[in-house]
Amino acid sequence: MVCNVSRVGVARWERSRWFWVAALAGGLHVAITLYWALGGHALLWTMGTGFIAKFESMMWILWPVALVKAVGAFGPVWLSTHGWPWARLTRLTVWLASFVLIGWGGLNTIVGNMVLFGLIRPTDGFDRPVMIGHAWIWDPLFLLWGISLLTGLIRTRTTRASLV
């Protein structure tokens, strides 16, 4: 009996481990967003002085942003460990989220690094610290988050008949 329980636990971990990686990447985004919403300033330089000046009076917006990020980060872990309630809808939503995260994170990571390495030269110049923040921190985390979600979805794919 103990052996069966162990195998069940391992099987659950096998099914959800990529969603845990996604939760870690997304959770970092959630944590910094909440930190900034509470008035913290660390890493705020990665958003740029223009962004800070523009949104200084609207920092409340970070609370709903953090909520959406938290659902996107931790929802798939919960869904994968609870058998994907409403499987068609929830899995489709996670598929879409993974493509958005991969597209956004991948494109911005590539373009940001191309700018930093001088392969692309914006005509109006660019804010180097902001570009570093996006190319080396935030966008690679979005990319990791998306790839992890996609990998988890592929590894937990079932036949169409079992989703009915």
**Cα(133)–Cα(158) distance, rounded to whole angstroms?**
38
Band of pLDDT at residue 154, cut at 50, 70 and 90: very high
Of 8-12, 53-57, 85-89, 148-152, the range with the lowest mean pLDDT is 8-12
Q: Is 50 within 8 Å of 96 (Cβ atoms)?
A: no
Band of pLDDT at residue 11, cut at 50, 70 and 90: low
pLDDT of residue 38: 92
Vertex 64: Cα angle to 97 and 36 (nearest 5): 105
- Mean pLDDT of all residues in 71-85: 91
Q: Is 84 within 8 Å of 90 (Cβ atoms)?
A: yes
Of 9-18, 96-105, 106-115, the range with the lowest mean pLDDT is 9-18
Band of pLDDT at residue 162, cut at 50, 70 and 90: very low
Q: Is 52 within 8 Å of 95 (Cβ atoms)?
A: no
Q: Is 16 within 8 Å of 152 (Cβ atoms)?
A: yes
| Number of domains, the chain | 1
Query: Looking at the predicted structure, is the pLDDT value of residue 8 above 60?
Result: no
Looking at the chain, the whole-number percentage of residues with pLDDT higher than 90 is 65
pLDDT of residue 161: 43
- Mean pLDDT of all residues in 65-90: 92
